[in-house]
């Protein structure tokens, strides 16, 4: 998008004494012709940008000297680079350009800007197949700001039963799982995950966050999700299914479904799968309607349940 490039080009001009069209093209990964056209567009729009011809020439802002973005406040710099984070609606081109231009910020602002751009991980799949449209938690921005600033917070929180508590948290990052937001933070009791919708208050303590050595937000979130999925599916149902049903089962069970590959035994032909579930009888009931297109191979209690269900249906509808 051209507007994105113009913003990025202006930032580049502010960060250097003088740039050539070739330098802008290399920095923003566009053609030199496009870079020159964008520089001319800035000048036409009334921004004091002019070209200096000849050897050693280039484009610069009127007033010479380099501004080094010193006109930005810390909050403005952090907000600018939040658009480069994964939760933003900005185009990939703008995000990439802003990430490249982090080094253009004054040194005191740089760390906060980098943290703002990496403070969030987006996990589009919900915990189950039946998602719902979520609303933006009212304290999400306050938590995002604390993560970006690296500031500890005193967190008011209500658990699923409504019981209120308060604790000091080192906010390390935010994760969006489907429509639900979570805060990943370090506490006196170790690493914790808080549902942002249950946060009742956020008070900055003024103390800096201490990040665990080697902490990686995306890797940590993947491990959290894996642990939760394991708790949600302590049992597994094994089956051989019609290959055409595999996409349907993936929609039904999402990450709880594991596809093991084709099988071609003496009495079973299809794709071998397993389904994670809290109770195998419940999983068996959900797939019973597919009839012989799904053959449950285990555990025994799942086969016994389906046999009993079949006899009851036969007795009722024969």
Fold of 2-118: Arc Repressor Mutant, subunit A (1.10.10)
Please state, in angstroms and as integers, the Cα–Cα distance from residue 184 to each residue in 198, 204, 229, following that order: 14, 16, 17
Taking only the tens place, the pLDDT of each residue in 145-171 is 888 778 999 999 998 888 999 999 999
122-230: CATH, from 3.10.105.10, 3.90.650.10, 2.30.30.520, 3.40.50.2000: 2.30.30.520
Q: Tell me the percentage of the chain whose pLDDT exceeds 90.
A: 27
So what's the pLDDT on residue 84? 47
Taking only the tens place, the pLDDT of each residue in 221-232 is 888 887 887 777
CATH number of 233-317: 3.30.70
Taking only the tens place, the pLDDT of each residue in 51-78 is 877 777 788 876 543 444 444 444 545 5
Q: Please determine, for residue 81, whether its predicted confidence score (pLDDT) is greater than 80.
A: no
So what's the pLDDT on residue 103? 53
More confident residue, 21 or 101: 21
- N-term to C-term CA, the chain: 65
Domain ranges of the chain: 2-118, 122-230, 233-317
Q: What is the dihedral sign for C-alpha 146, 152, 153, 158?
A: positive
Q: Residue 206 in contact with residue 243, Cβ under 8 Å?
A: no
So what's the pLDDT on residue 83? 46
So what's the pLDDT on residue 105? 54
More confident residue, 90 or 117: 117
So what's the pLDDT on residue 64? 43
So what's the pLDDT on residue 49? 77
Per-residue pLDDT band at 198 (split at 50, 70, 90): very high
Q: What is the dihedral sign for C-alpha 153, 156, 159, 164?
A: positive
In angstroms, the CA 307 to CA 292 distance is 12
Taking only the tens place, the pLDDT of each residue in 105-132 is 555 555 555 565 566 777 666 565 544 4
In angstroms, the CA 48 to CA 62 distance is 5
So what's the pLDDT on residue 153? 94
Mean pLDDT of the chain: 77
pTM of the predicted protein model: 0.53
| Least confident piece of the model among 45-49, 55-59, 109-113, 199-203 | 109-113
Residue 208, strand partner residues: 151
Q: What is the DSSP string of the chain?
A: -HHHHHHHHHHHHHHSS-B-HHHHHHHHT--HHHHHHHHHHHHHTT--EEEE-STT-EEEETT-S--TTTTS-HHHHHHHHHTTSTT--S-HHHHHHHHHGGGGS-HHHHHHHHHHHTSEEEE-S-SSSS-------TTHHHHHHHHHHTEEEEEEEE-TT--EEEEEEEEEEEEEETTEEEEEEEETTEEEEEEGGGEEEEEEEEEEP-PPTT--HHHHHHHHHHHHHHHH--EEEEEEE-GGGHHHHHHHHGGGEEEEEEEE-SS-EEEEEEEEES-HHHHHHHHGGGGGGEEEEE-HHHHHHHHHHHHHHHHHH-
Q: Tell me the percentage of the chain whose pLDDT exceeds 70.
A: 71
In angstroms, the CA 38 to CA 93 distance is 15
Q: Please determine, for residue 244, whether its predicted confidence score (pLDDT) is greater than 70.
A: yes
Taking only the tens place, the pLDDT of each residue in 258-301 is 898 887 665 567 899 999 888 889 889 999 999 999 999 999 99
């Amino acid at each position: 998008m051209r507007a994105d490039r113009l913003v990025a080009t202006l930032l580049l001009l502010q960060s250097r004494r003088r740039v050539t069209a070739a330098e802008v093209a290399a920095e923003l990964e566009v053609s030199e012709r496009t870079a020159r056209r964008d520089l001319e567009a800035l000048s036409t729009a009334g921004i004091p940008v002019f070209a200096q011809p000849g050897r050693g020439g280039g484009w610069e802002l009127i007033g010479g000297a380099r501004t080094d973005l010193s006109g930005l406040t810390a909050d403005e710099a952090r907000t600018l680079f939040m658009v480069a984070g994964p939760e933003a609606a900005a185009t990939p081109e703008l995000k990439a350009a802003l990430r490249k231009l982090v080094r253009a910020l004054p040194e005191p602002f740089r760390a906060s800007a980098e943290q703002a751009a990496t403070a969030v991980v987006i996990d589009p799949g919900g915990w189950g197949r039946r998602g719902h449209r979520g609303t933006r938690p009212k304290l999400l921005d306050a938590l995002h700001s604390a993560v970006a600033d690296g500031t500890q917070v005193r967190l008011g929180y209500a658990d699923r039963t409504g019981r209120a508590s308060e604790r000091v948290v080192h906010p390390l990052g935010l994760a969006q799982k489907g429509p639900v937001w979570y805060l990943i933070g370090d506490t006196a009791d170790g690493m914790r995950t808080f549902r942002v919708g249950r946060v009742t208050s956020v008070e900055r303590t003024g103390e800096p966050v201490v990040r665990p050595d080697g902490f990686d937000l995306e890797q940590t979130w993947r491990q959290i999700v894996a642990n939760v999925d394991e708790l949600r599916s302590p049992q597994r149902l094994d089956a051989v299914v019609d290959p055409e049903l595999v996409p349907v089962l993936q929609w039904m069970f999402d990450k709880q479904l594991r596809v093991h590959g084709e099988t071609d035994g003496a009495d079973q032909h299809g794709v071998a799968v397993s389904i994670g579930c809290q109770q195998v009888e419940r999983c068996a009931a959900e797939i019973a309607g597919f009839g012989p297109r799904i053959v449950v191979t285990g555990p025994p209690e799942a086969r016994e349940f389906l046999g009993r269900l079949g006899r009851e249906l036969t007795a009722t509808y024969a």
